[in-house]
Amino acid sequence: MLSLEASSQLNEVKSRSAGQPAASTRSGRNILHLDLDSFFVSVERLLDSRLQGKPVLIGGVTDRGVVAACSYEARAFGIHSAMPMRMARELCPEAIVIRGNSATYSKYSDIVTEIMQEEVPVLEKTSIDEFYADLTGMDRFFGCAKMADELRQKIIKETGLPNSFGLSINKTVSKVATGEAKPNNRLEIRSGEEKPFLAPLSVRKIPMVGEKTYQTLRNLGIQKIKTVQEMPQEMMQQVLGQHGSMIWKKANGVDNSPVIAYSERKSISTERTFDRDTTDVVKLKGIMLAMAENLAFQLRRGKKLTGCVTVKIRFSDFQTQTLQARIPYTSADHILIEKVMELFNKVYNRRLLVRLIGVRYSHLVGGGYQINLFEDSEEYINLYQAMDRIRERFGDRAVLRASGINARTIGRSNPFNGKRAPLLLANRRT
């Protein structure tokens, strides 16, 4: 725990920083990046100590499933997240496969979040197991490295979860340092040491360098960060556009992005009020389906899962009925649409005109995966990733299910119209 004097100073910094991003241009920043090592596996080992030291795979338990997470012992066999489970089992036949439980992981993530919120001035939670904290100014009376190390030890002591952290003047260097510190360790990069630290590392270590960008750089003969550091910024921009300029800055340890104070969104929702009350059940269902589908896409884009679905109907006499149901955490269309339509059928009263309908997804949790890797098959994952790529490129409504097209003729405006005709996707059930 912090000393009384340090705690008093910390509360003062918190009160000044609440709801505001940390200053991004001042010198002498101290930015902490902390990551919970192999988080899902670590939680499962807390629940079952027999898993210690063994190769563990978490995800879909059938051959059609995918790997959501794996232990370091499993990674030694070449296994990685999002790999088809059948391939992972071929690489490591002795691996222990566990379905996983998002609710349990979310609970442990919340415990860590609460610990960090109590100890640091400004906390940013970027996923279920990854955090940034701005410790700038804390070195005046406590020492940022010491504070970060005591925070790490407190998390281990109170939760039993191994974790690693990187500490430097900005987010990029701290995140890379965390990766180099793993597993269950720490690494501080002092001011002025950013470029020498980054230079010998692979360009794949730079945040925002994905597989496609990595292959482009490899084809150009660029494998180490040092090569990018020695190139003119204009050359990187010519090759990769604005993306290349950002990569050059990160390769040189330049990143002024602020730590944004953490605020967890608890739900997302949408609703439609009609100009004319209606009893057209076919079109009502079409709108409900379209809303459920679009919200599911928003979940995946925000790397969120929902554990509760609510349907709302307001009738012409202004009576409002809602019905909700808890579900296993997911962001998959085929699961959410089915639940939304089930609730709608229960709450809809055909004798009354409908004035408003709505859908809400709540009990949201974050994660470093886009869809429910614990439940979905490889085919569904590939389907959603393909649909989402089209939506990211051409707009939210570029792809929709055929039954949702009925929403076109109801309401004040057509939610699916635009310059591009939507691609109709027939409902798929297995």
Domain assignment present for residue 210? The answer is: no
- How many residues are present in the chain? 430
pLDDT for residue 426: 35
Residues 301 and 421 in one domain: yes
The residues annotated as belonging to the active site are: 130
Q: How far apart are the C-alpha atoms of 69 and 39, rounded to whole Å?
A: 8
pLDDT for residue 202: 96
pLDDT for residue 339: 95
Residues 411 and 308 in one domain: yes
pLDDT for residue 383: 66
pLDDT averaged over consecutive 10-residue blocks of the chain (430 residues)? 45 43 54 96 96 94 84 96 91 94 86 93 90 89 89 97 97 97 96 96 93 91 96 92 93 94 81 88 91 88 86 90 89 89 89 91 69 57 65 56 46 30 34
Domain assignment present for residue 374? The answer is: yes
Residues 166 and 48 in one domain: yes
Domain assignment present for residue 225? The answer is: no
Per DSSP, the three-state class of 110 is helix
Say whether pTM exceeds 0.85. Answer: no
Locate 81 and state its tokens: 């997240």
Residues 295 and 417 in one domain: yes
Checking DSSP bridges between strand 365-366 and strand 304-315, what pairing results, if any? antiparallel
Residues 31 and 159 in one domain: yes
pLDDT for residue 313: 94
pLDDT for residue 264: 67
Residues 186 and 283 in one domain: no
Residues 277 and 405 in one domain: yes
CA end-to-end span of the chain: 53
Domain assignment present for residue 25? The answer is: yes
Q: How far apart are the C-alpha atoms of 83 and 67, rounded to whole Å?
A: 5
Residues 183 and 279 in one domain: no
Q: Contact 377/65 with Cβ under 8 angstroms?
A: yes
Burial class (CB in 10 A: 0-12, 13-18, 19+), 429: exposed
Q: Of the candidates 159, 191, 223, which is a domain's last residue?
A: 191
Q: Of the candidates 191, 215, 243, which is a domain's last residue?
A: 191
Residues 181 and 285 in one domain: no
Q: Of the candidates 134, 162, 191, which is a domain's last residue?
A: 191
Q: How far apart are the C-alpha atoms of 375 and 354, rounded to whole Å?
A: 35
Look up tokens 């370091």; give the residue: 72
Domain assignment present for residue 219? The answer is: no
Q: How far apart are the C-alpha atoms of 110 and 116, rounded to whole Å?
A: 10
Residues 140 and 21 in one domain: yes
pLDDT for residue 225: 97
Provide CB contacts within 8 A for 252, sequence distance 6+.
194, 195, 198, 228, 229
pLDDT for residue 14: 45
pLDDT for residue 419: 32
Phi, psi of 313 (to 5 degrees): -135, 130
pLDDT for residue 185: 97
Q: Contact 331/371 with Cβ under 8 angstroms?
A: yes
In Å, how far from its chain's centre is CA 380? 19
Residues 290 and 404 in one domain: yes
Residue type, 4: L
Domain assignment present for residue 376? The answer is: yes
**Domain total in the chain:** 2
Domain assignment present for residue 295? The answer is: yes
Sign of CA dihedral 8, 11, 13, 15: negative
- The CATH number assigned to the domain holding 44 equals 3.30.70.270
Q: CB count, 10 Å around CB of 421? A: 9
62-101: burial string, b at 16+ Cβ within 10 Å, e else: eebbbbbbbbebbeeeebebebbbeebbebbeebbbbebb
Residue type, 40: F
Give the domain extent around 67.
1-191
∠ CA 321-289-397, nearest 5°, is: 130
Domain assignment present for residue 409? The answer is: yes
Instruction: Write out the E strands in 345-416.
Output: 354-362, 365-366, 399-401
Residues 56 and 146 in one domain: yes
Angle between the N-to-C axes of helices 102-119 and 39-47, in degrees from 0 to 180, rounded to the nearest 10: 100
- The CATH number assigned to the domain holding 322 equals 3.30.1490.100
pLDDT for residue 58: 93
